[in-house]
Amino acid sequence: MRTVFLNGKYLPENEANISIFDRGFLFADGVYEVTTVLDGKLIGFDGHIERLQRSLSELKYNFKVDREEMLAIHRELVTRNNIDQGMIYLQMTRGNPGDRDFAFPPADTPVTMVLFTQEKQIIGTAIETKGLKVISLDDLRWGRRDIKTVQLLFPSLAKMEAKAKGADDAWMLQDGFVTEGTSNNAYIVKNGKIITRDLSNDILHGITRKSVLACAKLLQMEVEERPFTIEEAYEADEAFATSASGFTNPIVEIDGKAIGTGKPGSVGDKLRTLYIEENMKAAI
């Protein structure tokens, strides 16, 4: 049984309970982060902590994240659960006001903080060689996708629609332009140039995205940050997606159309290799 963290305590997972009045439960008033563990070390930890603080501040939470305390909790969970490859899920909500009310509870209401581990094979998965198939559908999420909230119902529906159509994931469209995948950032490659949507409120500012674009720079690859249409994606030489737990995942088919050769592309592959090398060096 896993040991999880809830509001200052390490508990067996079946003893970690949250109130029915919790704002996270009643209003999806919560934010989260997913940090990858590789060789028992944390990948991109500081990026996740900075984004967590930003999400909290944008939602007017009265909470200052303590990096050292968070690092200690992450490490303790890795140790107690003996995680070699996997993730640490962290969620914070606006706490338990003891009733249901649209208005925020008093500022001194303690937040709810939960962390737990999830084992997952990160390196050497079948996706690296086989790639993923995606479908496209309209992006029906709210307008602040830059905040990492737990309102994941639409991405979840989109993922199920993809699966029902024999695909693995969905790329979401706004006015015909790709925003991102259900839980990853989206990229295409054309004539050696990497194209990915520019940062705005339309997409999550991926920690992996930032690092992968830095790797592209190191490899002297050309990058264009701008929205691209789904038609442009159909004609691309290759496509891939990035996320903390997937690193870079090749996309080999979109809406039933093979992308490029229909096999994982070399640009995504080179980026993945360098990404792992750089992030393993910096892992803590």
> Whole-number minimum distance, CB 108 to ligand PDD, in Å?
30
Nearest to ligand PDD of 151, 229 (CB atom): 151
Q: Are strands 222-225 and 193-196 parallel, antiparallel or unpaired?
A: parallel
| Active site residues per annotation | 148
34 touches ligand PDD by CB under 6 A:
yes
| 254 sits in which H/E element | strand 247-254
> Whole-number minimum distance, CB 241 to ligand PDD, in Å?
8
Nearest to ligand PDD of 136, 184 (CB atom): 184
180 touches ligand PDD by CB under 6 A:
yes
185 touches ligand PDD by CB under 6 A:
yes
183 touches ligand PDD by CB under 6 A:
yes
DSSP code of 165? T
> Taking CA 114 as the corner, what is the angle to CA 111 and CA 118, rounded to the nearest 5 degrees?
160
Cα–Cα distance measured from residue 281 to residue 284, given in angstroms and rounded to the nearest whole number = 9
Binding mask 236-275 for ligand PDD (x = CB under 6 A): ------xxxx------------------------------
Distances (CA, A) of 259 to 17, 96, 237: 46, 48, 6
Instruction: Check if the beta carbon of residue 280 is closer than 8 Å to that of residue 39.
Output: yes
209 touches ligand PDD by CB under 6 A:
yes
Among 55, 184, 248, 249, binds ligand PDD (CB under 6 A): 184
208 touches ligand PDD by CB under 6 A:
yes
Q: Which residue has the tokens 């969905």?
A: 170
Q: Are strands 30-38 and 169-174 parallel, antiparallel or unpaired?
A: unpaired
Q: Which residues bind ligand PDD (CB under 6 A)?
A: 34, 180, 183-185, 204, 206-209, 242-245
